[in-house]
Amino acid sequence: MFDNLTAIQIAAVVVTILISMGFHEAMHAFVSHWLGDSTAKMEGRLTLNPLKHVDLYTTILLPLALIIIHIPPIFIARPVPFDPENVKFGEFGVALIGLSGPLTNLLLAILGSVLFRLSGQNPSTLSSCILLFVDINILFFIFNLIPIPPLDGSRVLYAFAPHPLQKIMRQIESFGFISILIVFLLFMQFLYPVINFLNNSLSKLLLG
């Protein structure tokens, strides 16, 4: 996906990250607000402005550096804060907040695939940038649904998990994104083929 990128394609990757992660985090904020929590609004996160949601180092520079040295990238935005005590429907409301981000990326991937088909699928700089947009959003969708705290997939698992597992998940989440880095360093050889398979399958489904 990220091999031998031109300068224009690298710029397209940066723009895609800004748009995709911005919409992803904004949707977390909007859904949490809709479900009764005002934390995101008070911290200025109830906006589609990507600059309010991304971090220069972990959202832009880190994934670009990994792409350049041909390592599967990890995309980390500034998580949207919310208070579970204020969220309607309890754990299921929190699960909805978690799902809203990845589903937004899936919708963006679908919209990108429609644009790609309308473009006639002819090889060009524009079509290659649209393909990157689709692939990155598919990657965001799959990556964030991994049920490792604090990724969004863990919010969904937490709603259905028994209490002992919830306790373990809370302990893992206390380490923040360090836990994600540790898991990926230890299990990358097992996780990457699965992520790559799901990414390729969904890409073929959307793009034909």
Walk along the chain (208 residues) and give the pLDDT tens digit of each residue: 677 788 898 899 889 999 999 999 999 999 999 999 999 999 999 999 988 998 888 888 888 887 778 777 777 788 899 998 999 999 999 999 999 999 999 999 999 999 998 877 677 888 889 999 999 999 999 989 998 888 999 999 988 888 888 888 888 888 877 887 787 778 778 888 888 899 999 999 998 7
The answer to whether residue 66 is domain-embedded is: yes
The parent domain of residue 66 ranges over 7-207
The answer to whether residue 95 is domain-embedded is: yes
Report field, pTM of the whole predicted structure over 0.75: yes
The answer to whether residue 73 is domain-embedded is: yes
The count of structural domains within the chain is 1
Q: Annotated active-site positions, please?
A: 25
The pLDDT, as a whole number, for residue 181 is 77
The answer to whether residue 188 is domain-embedded is: yes
CA distances in angstroms from 47 to 2, 19, 41, 71, 101, listed in the order given:
30, 12, 8, 32, 14
The answer to whether residue 93 is domain-embedded is: yes
The answer to whether residue 77 is domain-embedded is: yes
The answer to whether residue 164 is domain-embedded is: yes
By C-alpha distance, which of 160, 27, 151 is closest to 91? 160
Contacts of residue 35, defined as CB under 8 A and 6 or more positions apart, other chains included, come to 87, 88, 89, 93, 96, 97
The answer to whether residue 2 is domain-embedded is: no
Contacts of residue 74, defined as CB under 8 A and 6 or more positions apart, other chains included, come to 62, 63, 66, 143, 180, 181, 184
The pLDDT, as a whole number, for residue 15 is 92
